[in-house]
């Protein structure tokens, strides 16, 4: 008996040639047809880090100088402060439309 098959009628998971093929498959198929979920506990990943992507953004010099000044007073890196400010504003906007 295969790992994903129990006594119920679970489908076999196909072998994928690429990650994109697998993504397309799971976008179109229900995982409940392939896995038994009853009796499972919620997983916790406390050390999982978000993936990040580098971007380039042009800011007015005066704005960047002000951010650097605030970051210096708070004793935090200015790029981290920009991420916090950006995340706060994005969450505020998302909550407006929820």
pLDDT attached to residue 3: 52
Domain locations along the chain:
1-42, 61-96
Gap between the Cα atoms of 28 and 90, Å rounded: 30
pLDDT tens-digit map of 34-62: 888 787 788 888 888 888 889 999 999 99
Give the integer Cα–Cα distance in Å for 48 and 63: 33
pLDDT digits (tens, 9 = 90+) for 5-25: 445 688 899 999 999 999 999
CB 34 within 8 A of CB 4: yes
Return all residues near 51 (Cβ < 8 A) that are at least 6 apart.
none
Q: Determine contact, residues 92/86, Cβ cutoff 8 Å.
A: no
pTM of the model: 0.51
């Amino acid at each position: 008996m295969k790992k994903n098959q129990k006594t119920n009628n679970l489908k076999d998971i196909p072998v994928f040639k690429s990650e994109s093929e697998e993504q397309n498959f799971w976008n179109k198929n229900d995982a409940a047809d392939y896995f038994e979920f009853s009796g499972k506990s919620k997983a916790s990943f406390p050390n999982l880090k978000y993936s990040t992507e580098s971007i380039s953004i042009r800011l007015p010099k005066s704005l960047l100088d002000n951010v650097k000044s605030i970051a210096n007073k708070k004793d935090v890196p200015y790029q981290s402060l920009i991420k916090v400010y950006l995340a706060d504003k994005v969450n505020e906007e998302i909550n407006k439309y929820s």
